[in-house]
Structure 1
Amino acid sequence: MTHTAAPLFTDINPGPEDGAAWWVNADDGVRLRVGVWGRKAQKGTVLLFPGRTEYVEKYAPAAGELAARGFATLAVDWRGQGLADRLADDPLLGHVVNFPDYQKDVGAVLRLAHALDLPKPWNLVAHSMGGCIGLRALIEGLPVNAAAFTGPMWGIRVSPPIIPVAWTLAHVMPMLGLGNQCPPGTNRKPYVATEPFADNTLTTDPEMFEMMRKQVTTHEALALGGPSYVWLREALTECARLAAMASPKLPCVTFLGDNERIVLTDRIHERMARWPGGRLEMVPGGEHEVMMETPQTRHNVFDDMATLFGG
C-alpha cells in the first residue's frame, strides 16, 4: 500500500521517542492519519481505536504505558477528525456519511500494519466510539487475539423522556436538509477547550485534562466540536444493529467508570454478560476516559490489558 510521512505533534506529552505518523487512504479515497510507537516491541502490537473527537496524539501517554509493558501501539485519526479529511463544510462539526464507512478506515489501518510489519500478535484496545467501530470489526473478523474496551459506545446516553425526540430529530433533520447542524446540548466548540475541569465528564485527573486542553488549543487543527444530526442518526442506528448481534468468541475485558455519563451503561452490562470469556471491570470513581484517569487507575488498567494480551 502507499503510505507517506505525516506530522506528529510531540510538544505535549509526546510518548515513546520512536513515534511516527503516516498518511494512508481508505478505499473510498478519504485520507487518514495513523500514528505508531514501539515498532520493535517484543510482545505484539495494540491496535488502538480512539473515540469521537479524538486524535493520535491523545494516546501518546497510553503508548508509553503499553511500551513499558512490551507492546507497540498503532492509533488512527478516523475520517472526519484529527488530521484526517474532514467531511463537513464546517471542520469543527463531527460528521460521517454512513457509520459503516469507518470499517473502510479499519481496512486502511490493517494494510498499514501489514506494510510496516508490526509485531504480532495483534490485540485491540477501543475507546468510546472506537468501541462501536471495534465491535463491528471484531464481528467481521478483525485479526486480533484479544480485545479491551474502555467506556465503549454500544449505546448513547440520552435521558429516557427525550429518547423518542432524539430518534425523531436524528432522522427528520437530515431529511429537511439540516443534517449538518448540531443536536441540542452540543455545539461546535471542543469540550475540553470550553468546559472547566470541575465536574467534567472525562477524567478526575487534572493533569490529563490539561493535556487534552493544551493539545487542542495549541494545535487547533486537531480540534472538533459536537456531532451532526447525520452522525447521531448513523450512530444510533449502528448501536441498535450491534445490540442484536452475538458477541465474538475471543478473550475480552471492558473497563467502565462507575461515574460514566457519556455512553449508555446498560448496554455495556448487557453485552459483557453474554460475551463468552468476557469480563467487565468497574473502575471506582472513574469517568469516561479510564486510560486518562489518575496514575494508579491507569497503572491498574494497563497492567490488566497486558495480562490479557499475554504480557
Structure 2
Amino acid sequence: MKLVPTAANPVPEGAIVSRVVARDGAPLRVARWPARTDKPRGTVVIFQGRAEFVEKWFETIEDLLAMGFCVVAFDWRGQGGSERTLADPRKGHVGRFGLYARDVEAIAAQVLKRECPKPHAVLAHSMGAAIALDLARRGRLPAERLIALAPMLGIVRVKHPTLAYYATTLAWLLGFGGMYVPGGGETSQTTKPFAGNPLTSDRLRYARNADAAAALGEGAIGDPTIGWARSAFALMRRLAEPRAALDIRLPTLVIAAGADRVVSAPAAERFASRLKTGNALVVPGARHELIAEADSIREPVMAAIEAFLPQPADVATAAPARG
C-alpha cells in the first residue's frame, strides 16, 4: 500500500497512504494530501484512467496542492496497488463496471467525509471520467463539481461499437471474460517505446511515467480483458443515450484532446453539448493524457482546471466535512 517514488518522480510531501476496503471486501490503495494552507479551497479527488496508478499523477497533485486544495488519489480495483480478481495481476480486469461505484462509495465514506474539507470536486480522466459522468447522472458522485479529461465515451479504433459490444458479450458468455482482448498482452502501454505513442508528445514526461511504471512492477497493468471491454462498451452505450447528459445537474467541464487516438473527442463534444450545467473545451493537437502533455498544452489545461475549481468565495459558504 506504499507509494513508489523514482528520481524524476518524487512523492509529493505530506502523503498519507492507507488501505480502504470496499463493502464487498476489495482492498484499495488510497493516498491523501492535506492542504498546505490554513484556509483550503476544498478537496480534489482524482479518478484515474484505465491502467493508471497514483504515482502517475504526482506532478498534478503538486499543482493542486499549490492551488490550496486537499488532494485524494486512489487506484481502482484491478490496477495499481489495489485488489486483483484474477491470478495474473497484469490483466486489466473487472467483472463489471458497477463494481467501480463501490470503490467510489468506500472512498467517500472512509476518506472524504472523515478527513477532507468541502467543497469536493472530482478531476477524472478517460475511464475514470466515464465512471464519474455515469455516477453524476445518477446523483451518486460525491462532489459538487466535475472535470472530465478525455472522457471514454467512444474508442477511436472501434468503428462499430454495437458490434463490438455484442461480440465481447458473446465471448464473455462462452467463458472467455478473463482473457486478454485479441492482440492484448501484459506490457503496460506506459512502458512501450515513445515513438508513435498515443498518450503524449512530451518525451520527458513519457520517460518519467515509464520509469514510474517499471518501478511499480505488477501495479502497472497491461491490456484489458474481454470482460472489461464488454463492460466498458455497455457503459459507453448508456452514456450515449440522449438523456444521460441531461440528467447531470452538477457543474461539469469536459476537456477533450484534439489529437486523441485513444478515445473519441467528437463523442465528448456531443455529450458536453447536451449538458445543462456544463461545457466543453477541445485542446488542438493534444494527445490522450492531457496532464502529461508538453507545457504548451498542459499549462492552459491546468489553468482551465484551476479556473473551474472552487474559488475562495465558494469555500467561504461551503459546509465543512463531517466526521
When normalised by structure 1's length, the TM-score is 0.92
Is residue 232 of structure 1 aligned with residue 229 of structure 2? yes
Deviations 1:12-65 (A, max 9, x none): 412531122110001100000111223445111111100000111111111011
Secondary structure in 1 matching 2:301: helix
Amino acid at match of 1:253: L
Cα distance between partner residues in 1 of 2:11 and 2:220: 20
1:98 pairs with 91, 96, 99, which one? 96
Cα distance between partner residues in 2 of 1:9 and 1:201: 25
Amino acid at match of 2:95: V
Amino acid at match of 2:19: W
Partner residue in 1 for 2:147: 148
State the number of aligned residues.
304
Secondary structure in 2 matching 1:131: helix
CA 1:253–1:36: 2 relative to 1, 3 Å? same
How far has the Cα of 1:198 moved from its partner?
1.6
Amino acid at match of 2:111: A
Amino acid at match of 1:300: P
Structural mapping, 1:134-213, within 5 Å: 134-141=132-139, 142-160=141-159, 163=161, 165-193=163-191, 195-213=192-210
Amino acid at match of 2:184: T
Cα distance between partner residues in 1 of 2:305 and 2:34: 17
How far has the Cα of 1:242 moved from its partner?
2.2
Partner residue in 1 for 2:18: 22
Partner residue in 2 for 1:87: 85
Amino acid at match of 1:239: M
Secondary structure in 1 matching 2:108: helix
How far has the Cα of 1:143 moved from its partner?
3.2
How far has the Cα of 1:247 moved from its partner?
4.2
When normalised by structure 2's length, the TM-score is 0.89
Is residue 216 of structure 1 aligned with residue 213 of structure 2? yes
Partner residue in 1 for 2:248: 248
Cα distance between partner residues in 2 of 1:19 and 1:116: 16
Cα distance between partner residues in 1 of 2:28 and 2:119: 24
Partner residue in 2 for 1:279: 279
Cα distance between partner residues in 2 of 1:266 and 1:296: 22
Amino acid at match of 2:276: P
Extract unaligned runs of 5+ from structure 1: 1-5
Is residue 114 of structure 1 aligned with residue 109 of structure 2? no
Cα distance between partner residues in 1 of 2:235 and 2:162: 17
Contact residue 83 and residue 222 of structure 1 kept, 8 A: yes
Secondary structure in 1 matching 2:115: coil
Partner residue in 2 for 1:75: 73
Contact residue 213 and residue 220 of structure 2 kept, 8 A: yes
Structural mapping, 1:24-63, within 5 Å: 24-41=20-37, 42-63=40-61
How far has the Cα of 1:152 moved from its partner?
0.6
How far has the Cα of 1:166 moved from its partner?
2.3
Extract unaligned runs of 5+ from structure 2: 312-323
Amino acid at match of 1:220: G
Aligned-CA RMSD value:
1.7
Deviations 1:103-140 (A, max 9, x none): 00000110233354212111111100001111122123
How far has the Cα of 1:165 moved from its partner?
4.8
